[in-house]
A and B are shown apart, each in its own frame.
Chain A
C-alpha cells in the first residue's frame, strides 16, 4: 500500500515567521499536487510539480519536488493570517492519486 506522510500534522506560528511542510513517501510519483483547504470548503489546487528537482513559486509559497520524485516540500516565507488552512499533498500516476493526511496551519496575527 502506498503511503504519503505529511509533517507536521499541526503548526501554529506567528505572522511573519517562515515555515516548511513536508510530504514524504517510499514510492515514486509521476506528479505531486499541493492543495489548500479552508474550513467548510473543498480543497483548491495550489500547484502541480512533475519533474524531479522542480521548484515552483507562488508569491510567498515555494514548492519543491524531490530529485527522486518521492517527496515534496512547501515553504512559506513571512506567513500571513490569510495562509491559515489545511494543506494537502497528493501524489499521483495516471491510475491513482494518494493523499496525505494534511498539515493544519494556523498563522496568528
Chain B
C-alpha cells in the first residue's frame, strides 16, 4: 500500500543546532507539504512543493528550508533550531498537480523539542 512516512517520530535537540526531518511518500504525488501543529493554532503551512525542484514558502517559513530533488522526498531543515520551533511537524502529499485544496494524505508526525 502507498504511504507517507516521517522520521524520526520524536527528536530532542539543542538550541542553535541544525535539524533535518525526513518525509518520504510512495503515492507518487507531485504535491508535498510541511505543516506545524501547535495548540490553539491548528495546522500552519511551512513550505510546499508542486514538483521536483519546485519549492514555495508558506505562512510560517522563517527559519526553515526544504529541497525537492525527487518525487518521493521533501526533507525539512531547521537551520538553527530555536525554542519557538518546538512543535509537532506533519508532512503531507496530494495528487492533483499544482493545486492546494485536494485531499491531503498525512504522515504520522514528528514531535520536535528544542531545549
> Which A residues are closer than 8 A to B by beta carbons?
6, 9, 30-31, 33, 40-45, 48, 88, 90, 92-97, 99-102
Contacts and interface: CB of A to CB of B under 8 A. Distances in A.
Contacts of B90: 42-43
A95 B102 CA distance: 11
Contact of B43 (A30, A31, A88): A88
Interface in B86-115: 90, 92, 98-101, 103-104, 106-109
Interface of A is mostly: loop
Contacts of B107: 42
Nearest to B41: A101
A98 B14 CA distance: 31
Interface of B: 40-45, 90, 92, 98-101, 103-104, 106-109
A92 B98 CA distance: 13
Given A31-B101, A94-B100, A102-B42, 19 more contacts: A30-B101, A40-B108, A41-B106, A42-B107, A42-B108, A43-B106, A45-B103, A45-B104, A88-B42, A88-B43, A90-B101, A92-B101, A93-B101, A94-B99, A97-B104, A99-B43, A99-B44, A101-B40, A101-B42
A42 B42 contact: no
